[in-house]
Amino acid sequence: MDSPAMLASGILGYVVETMQTIAKNGAGAIVSKSIGAKPRKGYANPTIVQVHCGMVNALGLPNPGIEEFVGEIRRAKQVLDVPFVVSIYGYSAEEYAEVAKKAARAGADAVELNVSCPHVKETGSEIGQNPQILMSVVRKVRAAVRVPVFVKLSPNVTNIVEIGESASRAGADALTAANTVRAIAIDVETGMPILSNRGGGLSGPSVKPIALRCVYELYERVKVPIIGCGGVTNWQDATEYLLAGATAVQVGTAIATEGLGVFEAISTGISGYLRRKGYRRVEDIVGLSHRS
Ligand SMILES: Cc1cc2nc3c(=O)[nH]c(=O)nc-3n(C[C@H](O)[C@H](O)[C@H](O)COP(=O)(O)O)c2cc1C
């Protein structure tokens, strides 16, 4: 990748023209919205609420389904000049593998397994919190496709290292840490939860120290590359993730708060930092904070 800052899944990742604009604005790679075997409507509004230092969302994985989305993948591959990663979810190992196979056949450069969505039953984090189920999903997908398989982990677990090690043993080529943190927001006037699903996932600056800790712990125990995700808003955040052990970062919520210029700002900021500190490449600072 020309830049270590990728677009995170679910943020503007449906429409090819939008993804193209994001790539033109300096994203190193694009990750699509999570796609399942069948179309899914998602939850009724409200699905997103802004909170202090972030947002809580429960969209409910709305998506057109893989049959419809293969056309978008093909179109994306024609127009994007950066790698295109298709995020997928399923309700069984077979379903994950089937969707992954269709995405790869249509031209996806990699697949990212969403085993960490905190607000849809029987998929997402219900899979990613159980090492045995997770391993069967990763093995099935690994056997079904030749492209790299990323596994996006949940921060809502007691021991993320155990889960990351399981994913890696089962064949994951990279780990993305992390998805949103389980959360809720309540309207004091109505006295009720604001989101139609009640609970949701917290993203933005408030989750950065949590996801950063996930990356830091994973780096000490797993060999596969780690992609940092959660609250990256500027080049300093991205650099913290690199120093913790990530080789790239994903940016989501900051697009809403900082605009599309955030990608260019991150990559220029990191380049300046590397120059100032006498390093030549991003790889030179990956995991540096672990030295004694
Ligand atoms: C509105 C919204 C929709 C999201 N949809 C997905 C999704 O479909 N699949 C997924 O793996 N993550 C999804 N996420 C999680 C993000 O990819 C990311 O892990 C999380 O927001 C933390 O990064 P951020 O703080 O930079 O936003 C979504 C996040 C938001 C805010």
31's tokens: 């990750």
CA–centroid distance, residue 67 to ligand 1 (Å): 23
Nearest atom in ligand 1 to the alpha carbon of residue 251 is 26
> How many secondary structure helices (H) and strands (E) does the chain include?
10, 14
CA–centroid distance, residue 57 to ligand 1 (Å): 8
Measuring from atom 5 of ligand 1, which residue has the nearest CA?
A: 10
Nearest atom in ligand 1 to the alpha carbon of residue 211 is 22
Predicted local confidence at residue 14, as pLDDT: 81
Nearest of 221, 214, 99, 84 to residue 157 by alpha carbon: 214
The mean pLDDT of 125-147, rounded to a whole number, is 94
Q: Pick the residue with more confidence: 140 or 292? A: 140
pTM (2 decimals)? 0.97
Predicted local confidence at residue 125, as pLDDT: 79
Does residue 132 surpass a pLDDT of 90?
A: yes
| Half-sphere exposure (Cβ direction) of 48: Cα atoms closer than 13 Å | 12
Q: Which of 253, 255, 257 most suits a substitution to test ligand 1, by most atoms within 8 Å of the C-beta?
A: 253
Chain segment 138-182, per-residue pLDDT in tens? 999 999 999 999 999 999 999 999 999 999 999 999 999 999 999
Active site residue 229: no
The mean pLDDT of 1-6, rounded to a whole number, is 95
Q: Which of 19, 45, 151, 180 most suits a substitution to test ligand 1, by most atoms within 8 Å of the C-beta?
A: 180
The three-state (H, E, C) secondary structure of 234-278, written as one string: CHHHHHHHHHHCCCEEEECCHHHHHCCCHHHHHHHHHHHHHHHHC
Does residue 123 surpass a pLDDT of 90?
A: no
Nearest atom in ligand 1 to the alpha carbon of residue 233 is 26
The mean pLDDT of 51-69, rounded to a whole number, is 96
Which one of the listed residues 53, 117, 214, 229 is annotated catalytic? Answer: 117
The mean pLDDT of 68-95, rounded to a whole number, is 96
Chain segment 5-26, per-residue pLDDT in tens? 999 999 987 889 999 999 999 9
* Reported confidence tier of residue 36, pLDDT bands at 50, 70, 90: very high
Predicted local confidence at residue 37, as pLDDT: 97
The mean pLDDT of 19-45, rounded to a whole number, is 96
Predicted local confidence at residue 285, as pLDDT: 98
* Reported confidence tier of residue 284, pLDDT bands at 50, 70, 90: very high
* Reported confidence tier of residue 121, pLDDT bands at 50, 70, 90: confident
